[in-house]
Chains A and B, each alone.
Chain A
Amino acid sequence: MSGKNINLTLKIWRQNSPEDRGRWEIFQAKDISTEASFLEMLDIVNEQLALAGKEPVAFDHDCREGICGTCGCAVNGRPHGPDRETTLCQLHMRRFQEGDTLVIEPYRARAFPVIKDLVVDRSAFDGVIQAGGFVSVNTGQAQDANNLPVPRDDAERAMDAAACIGCGACVAACPNAAAMLFVSAKVSHLAVLPQGRTEAARRALSMVAQMDAAGFGNCTNHKECEVECPKGISISNIARLNREFIKAGLASKE
């Protein structure tokens, strides 16, 4: 595999603090290897900024393997950039052409306030998980395998929903900044398993209540979340959340 080097113009959102109004800054990214990842490209730009005595661009990242859900910002209007089912760290510069201009901005949502530059506070998601995204079990010896029979299809559905890494791209992509894909994935991966059924009604009601309280918008079924989700979470999970919610609301004692 032979790479080449390209030159890019970056238009990056700079914001010093949550209270700062923020502004756009233009950078020239010169001689970027097309084999570099997007975050490596930002590292190179930051190194140059640091050498020039300027403040580097703050951005979130951790595993850089596409599994932790820490990275993410909007590149030319697309959360995690233009590739399907790809986190920003797994996006590579070969995706771009010589001379391209990239507009890089943080996820925009009232529930995700900007901390600095491209870093947003996604602890609203933690609040939703704390409200019910768990199964209450007694600790002790691990159960024998297959003590609770789970049909294979249910296990697959649960795993598909559990693939959610909580990166927030669904909120970022949604024209209403709704968190329904995230919440529905977290409700679904427990709701389809016997271990999760016991608390299913309480979980659906309290997680939705917390989602509303955090200031996310309302889902209007634009499907943008499904398109941008780096883990390919389906909106059929949102339908399941809707089902679980109305079932809990009208037919449970919660």
Chain B
Amino acid sequence: MIWVARIFSTSIGKKQLMAVTGILFLVFLTTHLLGNLSIYGGIEAFNAYAEHLHALGKLLVVAEVGLVVALIIHVTLAIILFFENRKARPIKYAVDKSGGGGRTLSSQTMPFTGLLILAFVGLHLANLSHHIVDQTNRTIFQIAYEVFANKGILIFYLASMVVVGLHVRHGLWSAFQTIGANHPKYMPFIEWLSIFFAVIVAVGFGSLPLAILALK
């Protein structure tokens, strides 16, 4: 197993683990959004979706454990890579100008949007996870409604979805590039998908609290 450690302790190996775990989160975002869009079918549909999801039992636990492991890998490597990259340029440029067409707001803020997303995930689980919030006497819809009735939390959620969109906008195409999937035939589509998916995530998830508040 020494070769595994050797491969994944290199710069490319670490980044490829970042990419694979990142793609896993993108798949999770897709399923999470598709499920939660059931709110547009009404309160009944939303509660029914949650019940069916929780009825998966052990299967759901396996998925959750997988996500936690992926999160630990993604965040740990992000911290290591961030400090390695800072160390690689001890003296900064007096004038630091982009040639244009290179770095973007999204690519430059990845470490910071990542930290904000981590904070959001913490609050989100504390607010709404079925492991943490007791739901014996309340439906999922009632719990969610009470959470979003708090203006501060609502604004933090909406802002966080923009942050997630920013992270996804660079993260998606970047993950494909890092695992080596860059080809003139499909790379333009992946770069387009990166922007499209970012907008879908920000608008899609951002609309959910507003839909919940509108339904009461």
Bound Cα distance A178, B88 (Å): 8
Instruction: Check if B135 is an interface residue, CB within 8 A of chain A.
Output: no
The residue from A111, A211, A246, A249 contacting B11, defined by CB atoms under 8 A apart: A211
Bound Cα distance A241, B180 (Å): 7
Among the listed stretches A87-95, A131-139, A232-240, which one makes contact with chain B, having 4 or more residues with CB under 8 Å of it?
A232-240
Contact assessment for B88 and A239 in the assembled complex, using a CB-CB cutoff below 8 Å: no
Contact assessment for A78 and B97 in the assembled complex, using a CB-CB cutoff below 8 Å: yes
Beta-carbon nearest neighbor of A172 in chain B:
B93
The residue from B12, B90, B96 contacting A242, defined by CB atoms under 8 A apart: B12
**With contacts A235-B177, A245-B12 known, what are 15 further pairs, Cβ within 8 A?**
A77-B96, A105-B93, A110-B88, A173-B99, A176-B89, A209-B10, A212-B10, A219-B12, A220-B81, A221-B173, A222-B102, A227-B100, A238-B182, A239-B182, A242-B180
Bound Cα distance A173, B103 (Å): 10
Query: CB-CB < 8 A to A224: which residues of B?
Result: 98-99, 102-103
Instruction: Check if B189 is an interface residue, CB within 8 A of chain A.
Output: no
Please, what's the 1-or-0 string for A210-254, where 1 marks a CB less than 8 Å from any CB in chain B? 011001111111111111100000011011111111100110000
Instruction: Check if B58 is an interface residue, CB within 8 A of chain A.
Output: no
Query: CB-CB < 8 A to B187: which residues of A?
Result: 236
Size range of the chain A interface in the assembly: 35 or more
Query: CB-CB < 8 A to B16: which residues of A?
Result: 242, 245-246
Query: CB-CB < 8 A to B81: which residues of A?
Result: 218, 220
Instruction: Check if A115 is an interface residue, CB within 8 A of chain B.
Output: no
Residue of B11, B13, B91 contacting most chain A CB atoms (<10 Å):
B11
Instruction: Check if B136 is an interface residue, CB within 8 A of chain A.
Output: no
For the complex formed, measure the closest distance between the CB of A73 and the CB atoms of chain B, giving whole angstroms: 11
Instruction: Check if A61 is an interface residue, CB within 8 A of chain B.
Output: no
The size of the chain B interface, using a CB distance under 8 A, is 44
Query: CB-CB < 8 A to A226: which residues of B?
Result: 102
Beta-carbon nearest neighbor of B98 in chain A:
A224
Residue of B7, B15, B16, B85 contacting most chain A CB atoms (<10 Å):
B85
Bound Cα distance A218, B13 (Å): 10
Residue of A11, A178, A220, A224 contacting most chain B CB atoms (<10 Å):
A220
The residue from B108, B180, B181 contacting A222, defined by CB atoms under 8 A apart: B108
Contact assessment for B95 and A77 in the assembled complex, using a CB-CB cutoff below 8 Å: yes
What are 29 residue pairs bridging A and B, where the CB atoms are less than 8 Å apart in the complex? A74-B95, A76-B95, A77-B96, A103-B95, A109-B88, A111-B88, A173-B99, A175-B89, A208-B11, A217-B85, A217-B88, A218-B81, A220-B15, A220-B174, A221-B177, A222-B102, A223-B101, A224-B102, A225-B102, A228-B99, A239-B183, A240-B180, A241-B12, A242-B12, A245-B10, A245-B12, A245-B13, A245-B16, A249-B7
Residues of A near any B CB (own CB < 8 A): 11, 13, 24, 74, 76-78, 84, 103, 105, 108-111, 173, 175-178, 208-209, 211-212, 215-228, 235-236, 238-246, 249-250
Instruction: Check if B131 is an interface residue, CB within 8 A of chain A.
Output: no
Query: CB-CB < 8 A to B152: which residues of A?
Result: none
Contact assessment for A236 and B12 in the assembled complex, using a CB-CB cutoff below 8 Å: no
Residues of B near any A CB (own CB < 8 A): 3, 7, 10-16, 81, 84-85, 87-103, 107-108, 110, 170, 173-174, 177-184, 187
Contact assessment for A175 and B103 in the assembled complex, using a CB-CB cutoff below 8 Å: yes
Contact assessment for A227 and B99 in the assembled complex, using a CB-CB cutoff below 8 Å: yes
The residue from A78, A108, A242 contacting B179, defined by CB atoms under 8 A apart: A242
Q: Closest 7 CB pairs between A and B?
A: A243-B180, A77-B97, A217-B88, A239-B182, A77-B95, A227-B99, A249-B7
Beta-carbon nearest neighbor of B104 in chain A:
A222
Contact assessment for A218 and B103 in the assembled complex, using a CB-CB cutoff below 8 Å: no
Query: CB-CB < 8 A to B100: which residues of A?
Result: 227
